[in-house]
Chains A and B, each alone.
Chain A
Amino acid sequence: MALNVLVVDDSAVMRKMIIRTLRLSGLPLGDVFEAGNGQEGLDKLSQNWVDLALVDINMPVMNGEEMIDRVRQNPETADLSVIVVSTDSSETRIDMLQKKGAGFVHKPFTPEGLRETISQMTGVAQDEQSPEGTLPGSGPDF
């Protein structure tokens, strides 16, 4: 089963980091969609089938919490797997997010930690032998 993933973060660099981790992780990846805030994220969800959303909390226009609330209120997206990737590590916030059925990864994250949480949330194991498990490096190191 290929996973279609939506990455919602107001930082384009952070979105690229998350997507790079997804591609390196050996998870069976389908389409990857990007959004710069919660509203854009909802728009992408209304136009595409998505299996997993990785969502930041502090964003302009619409923050991640409001986006998750709306996702849960919409019958078409209510069961979407959501992982919050945020610098906000308040226990109160994490409790609130868990009640909304979201996983949590704290920034700064390691790619291995993000991979682990995605595997747990989706129940999809990484394919150990996946040729997508590595990316060509930009440098000549190895």
Chain B
Amino acid sequence: MVVSKHPDDSIITHALGSCLGITVHDPVAQVGGLLHVMLPLSTIDPAKATSNPHMFVDTGVPRLFLECYKLGAQKSRVELKVVGGACSKANPEDDYFEIGKRNFVMLRKLLWKNGVLIKSHDVGGTHSRTMSLHVGTGDVILQINGVKSII
């Protein structure tokens, strides 16, 4: 997880498969953060959850918000974008563990409970993604198979 209040910074994460890349951005405070989570629930491995809470949706996402608040972001202004959550098999029927889908369901649950809607997302499918957040503008650049787009 990386947070920043430097408008010229870009924060990037690569190779998002079933993992989720989650950005929060406050356009007024020009504060942004990016979190790369791997699994939905920390209860699966409490030791890991203690040593690296950013691995899990349920422990990582609150930290992302709280760290951005420390830099001046306000919840009422924060915009959240999500990328990743791909299926790990070419045929979704073969994806027994459905980690990508479960990550996104867990994120939805957490956001709904905490009263935050998703600004935009590119989730699911079978492809690997790279995403970057420009802290000054809040633009998220998504890259799939070398093709870039802004979400």
Contact = CB atoms under 8 A, between A and B. Distances in A.
B76 A133 contact: yes
Contacts of A110: 108
A138 B114 CA distance: 7
A57 B28 CA distance: 42
A136 interface: yes
Contacts of B113: 137-139, 141
B139 to A, nearest CB: 14
Nearest to B59: A141
Contacts, number: 48
Q: Give the contact-size bracket for chain B.
A: 20 to 34
Nearest to B75: A134
Interface in A96-124: 110-112, 115
Interface string B71-113: 0000111110000000000000000000000000000101011
B76 A142 contact: no
Given A131-B76, A134-B76, A112 B66 contact: no
A118 B28 CA distance: 26
Contacts of B121: 112
B114 A24 contact: no
A134 B116 CA distance: 6
B118 A142 contact: no
Given A110-B108, A129-B77, A131-B76, A141 B115 contact: no
Nearest to A129: B77
B114 A111 contact: no
Contacts of B115: 20, 24, 134-137
Interface string B59-75: 00110011001000001
Contacts of B108: 110
15 contacts: A24-B115, A24-B117, A25-B117, A112-B121, A128-B79, A129-B77, A133-B117, A134-B76, A134-B115, A136-B115, A137-B114, A138-B113, A141-B61, A141-B110, A142-B66
Interface of B: 27-28, 61-62, 65-66, 69, 75-79, 108, 110, 112-118, 121
Given A112-B117, A112-B118, A134-B76, 9 more contacts: A20-B115, A111-B112, A129-B76, A133-B117, A134-B75, A134-B78, A134-B115, A135-B115, A139-B113
